[in-house]
Amino acid sequence: QQQVKQSPQSLIVQKGGISIINCAYENTAFDYFPWYQQFPGKGPALLIAIRPDVSEKKEGRFTISFNKSAKQFSLHIMDSQPGDSATYFCAASTYGNTPLVFGKGTRLSVIA
Amino acid sequence: GAVVSQHPSRVICKSGTSVKIECRSLDFQATTMFWYRQFPKQSLMLMATSNEGSKATYEQGVEKDKFLINHASLTLSTLTVTSAHPEDSSFYICSAADRESGNTIYFGEGSWLTVV
């Protein structure tokens, strides 16, 4: 049973457009929701993370929107650039030293 | 952000031999580290949770005698693939929880293992 469902599987966005990736979770005990960016052959890099006490968090061009009642959270990449082309993973975990549960990833391609 | 160093980044070994991969948290102490395996174009699969000074907790289906994990200090965890076979070829990634920053989890750069 997949605890974090991520969509879409792949996404093509024009340069300057908005990339939107969605995730839904099942475990209401989750209270930490990070997004990771991974380039081919590299480890995942933490992009931005949110906890359920806020509904939105913005860092530069990246914004997380969080809907606790719907158990959903999403990543918005504003003014998408070709350098943003990568695989993005959403994840969730409970507080403490518990492992992250990952979504299946979204391959983003930003075309000029 | 915090830095997690993984070594080696790439290793090729002969079938039947053992390979050790190191994971170090460079600027924070990590009581807990995690080891993942990733196949091409797939998500990360958790192999085990490594706690400093105690035995690792393995996920279902992961052979603990084949994938030996040692977390000897607050900054170092090692994964040893014993008696490696070609099917063990994969991308292995470690991560560490920085308790000083609310257990934010940072990943290493990964290690490509090729067994020939």
- Would the CB atoms of A104 and B42 count as touching at under 8 Å? yes
Cα B24 → chain centroid: 10
Q: Name which of B6, B91, B105 is nearest A100 (Cβ-Cβ).
A: B105
- Render each residue's pLDDT in chain A as its tens digit; 112 residues: 568 999 999 999 999 999 999 999 999 999 999 999 999 989 999 999 999 899 999 999 999 999 999 999 999 999 999 999 999 999 999 876 688 999 999 999 999 9
CA distances from B43 to A102, B56, B68, B95 (A): 7, 22, 22, 15
| Residues of chain B with C-beta less than 8 angstroms from the C-beta of A105 | 42-43
- Would the CB atoms of B97 and A102 count as touching at under 8 Å? no
> Which residue, among A78, A68, A73, A77, has the nearest Cα to A29 in the 3D structure?
A68
Within 8 A by CB and 6+ apart from A15, the residues are: A80, A81, A82, A110, A111, A112
Q: Name which of A42, A89, A99 is nearest B34 (Cβ-Cβ).
A: A99
Choose the mutation target among A1, A90, A97 for the interface with B, i.e. most B CBs under 10 Å: A97
Confirm or reject contact between B13 and chain A (CB < 8 A).
no
d(CA B7, CA B12): 13
